[in-house]
């Protein structure tokens, strides 16, 4: 059986951005067909950076609402902090990982010199591996930036199997969308990120059409007056906008380029605004409705999904615990 595990951190306000949506969330409803799936609001991972406890619950609720509004089945969504088996398995896995291995993780290397960086940032990939292996996952939908972490989960699965002397754990493999990395629309050299210093380059699922239009009109383009040539000949800034349009409209990048031949870059931006209005604004409206009128429904979904997740993870972790010679 194909077992899928994926998640999204409720950092910032909790709203996913376009990179989260196109890189993972949009594909989940299609990926989970004929599969057993678990979609996690990774609230514990969100505590590896500075956070406000009073805001974390709100942002987690908004992340769950965003997943539901984007078409993820409400019965497979759960909250990481509600499933303690993740933490137990993370301890066992930490004994199989080396310090050097953790220090080579890109995310840690990028942030290790920042003030106030905690041990959680170093150990974060181990907990992520536990998130995956708690369900004996076979497939992990993820952005390309998470490839290293999924590789670690696979490595730790092999080490645990070797320790217990049998191939109990599946070796998880990443599943990338064809365009897994969406860049900042102001600074196309950087990945779209909630932590970006200038949020005008980040498109969120909860942006109003006015806010989105303002951001898109500021997007970086080219100095040429007219759009010419095919996709491969465009600058990184233009390619990024074309990719967003093609993914939202579910047409090829070549189709976008054909429609824009001889037109101005303002037409490219208007095409993106139209795609955003058609495909993202309905999601935003559903998120707003749930957050303003039906938060109890979101909590009920999280509670039921977490109960389901805990049942599965408890069964797997109990087996692992016993095979490691622990427990009764």
**What is the token pair recorded at 100?**
């050097």
pLDDT at position 121: 75
DSSP E strand stretches across the chain: 3-8, 36-41, 77-79, 139-141, 173-175
Closest by CA position to 60, among listed 72, 74, 46: 46
**Assigned token pair, 215:** 């951001």
CA-nearest of 179, 176, 107, 170 to 134 is 170
pLDDT at 17: 95
Residues 122-145 as b or e (16 or more Cβ within 10 Å = b) = bbbbbbbbbbbbbbbbbbbbbbee
Q: How far is CA 198 from CA 1, 194, 218, 227, in A?
A: 43, 10, 12, 27
Residue 227 DSSP SS3:
coil
Q: Is 176 left (phi over 0), alpha (psi -120 to 50) or beta?
A: beta
CA–CA separation, 179 and 215 (whole Å): 21
pLDDT for 318:
97
Instruction: Provide the annotated active-site residues.
Output: 111, 191, 194
Structure tokens at 273: 């605004």
Token pair, residue 183, equals 């860049």
What does the DSSP 8-state code read for residue 204?
A: B
Residue 229, by phi and psi: left (phi above 0), alpha (psi -120 to 50) or beta?
A: left
* Per-residue pLDDT tens digits of the chain, which is 328 residues long: 899 999 999 988 899 999 999 988 998 888 888 889 999 999 999 988 888 998 999 999 999 999 999 999 999 999 999 999 999 999 999 999 988 888 888 776 666 666 666 777 778 899 999 999 999 999 998 777 788 889 999 999 999 999 999 999 999 999 877 766 899 999 999 999 988 889 999 999 999 999 999 999 999 998 888 888 899 999 999 999 999 999 999 999 999 999 999 999 999 999 999 999 999 999 999 999 999 999 999 999 999 999 999 999 999 999 999 999 998 7
Q: What is the pLDDT of residue 187?
A: 95
| Count of residues making up the chain | 328
């Amino acid at each position: 059986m194909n077992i899928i595990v994926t998640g999204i951190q409720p950092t910032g306000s909790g709203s996913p951005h376009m990179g989260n949506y196109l890189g993972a969330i949009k594909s989940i409803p299609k990926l989970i067909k004929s599969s057993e799936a678990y979609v996690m609001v990774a609230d514990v991972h969100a505590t590896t950076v500075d956070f406000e406890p009073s805001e974390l619950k709100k942002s987690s609720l908004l992340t769950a609402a965003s997943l539901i509004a984007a078409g993820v089945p409400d019965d497979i969504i759960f909250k990481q902090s509600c499933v303690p088996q993740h933490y137990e398995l993370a301890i066992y896995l930490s004994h199989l990982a080396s310090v050097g291995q953790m220090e080579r993780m890109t995310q840690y290397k990028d942030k290790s010199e920042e003030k106030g960086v905690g041990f959680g940032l170093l150990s974060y990939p181990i907990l992520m591996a536990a998130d995956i292996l708690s369900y004996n996952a076979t497939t992990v939908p993820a952005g390309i930036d998470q490839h290293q972490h999924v590789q670690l989960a696979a490595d730790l699965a092999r080490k645990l199997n070797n320790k217990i002397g049998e191939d109990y754990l599946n070796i998880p493999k990443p599943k990338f969308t064809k365009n897994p990395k969406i860049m900042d629309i102001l600074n196309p050299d950087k990945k779209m990120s909630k932590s970006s210093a200038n949020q005008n380059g980040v498109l969120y699922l909860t942006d109003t059409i006015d806010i989105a239009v303002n951001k898109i009109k500021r997007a970086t383009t080219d100095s040429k007056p007219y759009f010419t040539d095919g996709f491969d000949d465009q600058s990184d800034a233009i390619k990024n906008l074309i990719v967003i349009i093609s993914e939202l409209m579910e047409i090829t990048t070549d189709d976008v380029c054909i429609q824009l031949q001889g037109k101005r870059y303002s037409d490219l931006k208007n095409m993106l605004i139209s795609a955003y209005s058609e495909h993202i604004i309905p999601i935003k409206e559903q998120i707003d409705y749930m957050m303003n009128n039906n938060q109890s429904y979101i909590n009920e979904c999280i509670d039921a999904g977490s109960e389901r997740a805990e049942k599965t993870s408890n069964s797997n972790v109990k087996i692992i615990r016993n095979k490691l010679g622990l427990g009764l």
